[in-house]
Structure 1
Amino acid sequence: MRPLLSRFAFLLFLLPFLSFQGRIPLEKRALFDGMTFQGWEGDTTKTWRIVDGMLVGGSLEETVPHNDFLVTDREYGDFILTLKIRLRGQEGFINSGIQFHSQRLADPAYEMTGYQADWGEGYWASLYDESRRNKTLIAPDSTQVLKWIKKGEWNDYKIHAEKGRIQLFINGHQTVDYKEPDSMIPQSGLISLQIHGGGKAEVAIKDIFIEELNQKNR
């Protein structure tokens, strides 16, 4: 009987780990292959391009006329998304961000509505509600976040969206922990990369990986 009891005890030991919060993590996978726009849609003739394994949007020579988004071709629910982002600019409004749990608008067709992990002067690593509530939902301490970011250089951005809770991290530091109070706000949707209009600005993004979080067993 001892081997049977030993196996039973081992299963009891494993149970908390197998059922941690009921989550079944799926395989972490790349959202960008570094060479093509496969899995993405948007203005890939002028606004967005691929340069040396990076997705690049905007221009340092010409003012970006309006917000523009490079959008995934499928929707995502709960996930952990990681990427590297670099924002540079010459003049005007220099801003970018990562939309998620979002949808395209019909008018104007280039705009999106939903959450945005913001990136730019005055908005570094904050959570904005694009074309919906049109406001910053939560922002980090402005003095503290400036110690964590690298302006004009590469930064590691992480978005953890799960069961209405949104956490943002920049270079390993948590900047936002937000719980959505409105049950009517969608917790799934498209992911997209933004270059904001109104400035001579260029955003580059690379090493985009997503881990979807299976909620079925919760």
Structure 2
Amino acid sequence: MTRVFTLTLFALAASVALAQDKPKTEIPAAGADGWITLFNGKDLTGWEGLEGYWSVVDGAIQCSEQKATSKQSDLILLCSKDNPEKFADFELRYSWKMVTPEGNSGVQIRGKIDNAKMLHVGGYQADIDAGNGYTGIIYDEGGVAGGRGIMSKRGEKTVWDAENKRSATPLDKSDADIKKAIKPVGEWNECVVHAEGNHIVYSINGQVTTDLTDDSPKACKSGVIGLQMHGGFTMTIQFKDLRIKLLEKK
């Protein structure tokens, strides 16, 4: 019993030491214009995901899965994992293309890794799906932002107050009109997510799709960036042109 306990302590100490020895992933240097390139267009350097699901195809990050072996997981930006406090206020730009006629994905911002083994990130998600039923909303993935589900619908300006109560007013354009700006399966969509303080704006192809102000005690202030692989689908999605500008807090 004593020997087993000693060996267990040794293994634990070794794993802790190994974790401490792992070099921290630094945030890449910004260009003269303030933008930081997050993907080199060649390989997955700087990212971490489950093996066998993520690759680089034609200069884009590609996620492919079969329904029978699908996972709820993310490709995690390592510099945001190692420096989550730095990813609070920013403008994130990227393009995505759904390749298959079914599938669901999204981009996690200010997230929290709530399942380290599965590399799952919860929290605010700029949602994407093949049928564009959910594309353009902000969703609380995994309930990390207080279990609030759809936090801000497409076509709405949503406010969560300090008592965690929700109110919403329509944007200038209707949900139906905004949906027309979203390109279908097989075509690239250009996205911007602007997060500053309690305010997040999600835009697709130059059109604001949803506007969120979150004053709730459950609000996510900073955290991890990840690209979602949603379980339950046979799907392929691609991402490219990922870049971020970190903003000074006012």
Q: Is the 8 A contact 1:87 1:96 kept in 2?
A: no
The TM-score with structure 1 as length reference comes to 0.80
Decide which of 182, 197, 214 is 1:149's aligned counterpart: 182
SS of 1:66's equivalent in the other structure is coil
Larger relative CO (CA 8 A, sep 6+): 1 or 2? 1
How far apart in 1 are the matches of 2:241 and 2:208?
20
Decide which of 99, 108, 113 is 1:88's aligned counterpart: 99
How far apart in 1 are the matches of 2:109 and 2:60?
20
CA spacing shift, 1:79–1:107, aligned 2, 3 Å = closer
Letter in 2 for 1:135: G
SS of 1:145's equivalent in the other structure is helix
How far apart in 1 are the matches of 2:116 and 2:39?
28
How far apart in 2 are the matches of 1:51 and 1:178?
34
RMSD over equivalenced CA pairs, Å: 1.9
Decide which of 59, 67, 83 is 1:53's aligned counterpart: 59
Decide which of 53, 77, 85 is 1:72's aligned counterpart: 77
Greater alpha carbon shift after TM alignment, 123-132 vs 139-148: 139-148
How far apart in 2 are the matches of 1:117 and 1:57?
17
SS of 2:99's equivalent in the other structure is strand
Per the alignment, residue 172 of structure 1 pairs with 206
SS of 1:183's equivalent in the other structure is coil
SS of 1:199's equivalent in the other structure is coil
How far apart in 2 are the matches of 1:68 and 1:107?
10
Shift of 1:26: 7.4
Q: Which runs of 4+ in 1 moved over 2 A?
A: 88-91, 106-111, 183-186
Are 1:114 and 2:119 an aligned pair? no
Q: Is the 8 A contact 2:124 2:220 kept in 1?
A: no
Are 1:126 and 2:137 an aligned pair? yes
Are 1:210 and 2:244 an aligned pair? yes
In structure 2, the gaps of 5 or more residues are: 1-31, 156-174
CA spacing shift, 1:26–1:123, aligned 2, 3 Å = same
Decide which of 144, 154, 159 is 1:140's aligned counterpart: 154
The TM-score with structure 2 as length reference comes to 0.70
Shift of 1:108: 6.5
Deviations 1:110-136 (A, max 9, x none): 322110000113201110001111511
Deviations 1:139-169 (A, max 9, x none): 1144123211111110001100000100000
How far apart in 1 are the matches of 2:33 and 2:195?
15
| Identity among equivalent pairs (%) | 30
CA spacing shift, 1:116–1:96, aligned 2, 3 Å = same
Per the alignment, residue 106 of structure 2 pairs with 97
How far apart in 1 are the matches of 2:218 and 2:140?
14
Deviations 1:149-199 (A, max 9, x none): 111110001100000100000000001111002134231001000121111
Decide which of 233, 238, 241 is 1:199's aligned counterpart: 233
Letter in 2 for 1:67: Q
